[in-house]
Amino acid sequence: GAGVSQSPSNKVTEKGKDVELRCDPISGHTALYWYRQRLGQGLEFLIYFQGNSAPDKSGLPSDRFSAERTGESVSTLTIQRTQQEDSAVYLCASSLGGLDKRGQETQYFGPGTRLLVL
């Protein structure tokens, strides 16, 4: 499809295990973002990539969280030693990295990965 895709759709894991979440942005989008949405809450910014570099990692909640992006395409968010408070929906978004036809930096979101840590 033409939109942002994420995998897996759902992930259930045990406390202490590591998880990897994947994001495939829209082709040609140089900017990629990860957000977290806890139940009943708004979205919290985690990290921003421009190309393969991450100029803003300010939202990563702890050193258990890391992310990388390769080939200016796919990104992986890794959570090590998961805790119950990591349970949330993890949303990825991408944007052109420049003005789109509407003249603004519109972020397009994927369907999210629902993570449940038991």
Partner 1 sequence: AQKITQTQPGMFVQEKEAVTLDCTYDTSDPSYGLFWYKQPSSGEMIFLIYQGSYDQQNATEGRYSLNFQKARKSANLVISASQLGDSAMYFCAMREGPMYGGATNKLIFGTGTLLAVQP
Specify the residue, 30 or 76, whose C-beta has the smaller distance to partner 1. Answer: 30
Q: Which residues pair with 90 in a beta bridge?
A: 36, 113
72/51 Cα distance (integer angstroms): 5
CB 14 → partner 1: shortest distance, Å?
A: 24
DSSP-derived pairing of the beta strands 53-56 and 5-7: unpaired
**Taking CB under 8 A as the rule, does residue 106 contact partner 1?**
yes
Provide the binding-site residues for partner 1, judged by CB under 8 A. Answer: 31, 33, 35, 41-45, 48, 55-56, 58-59, 89, 91, 93, 95, 99, 102-112, 114
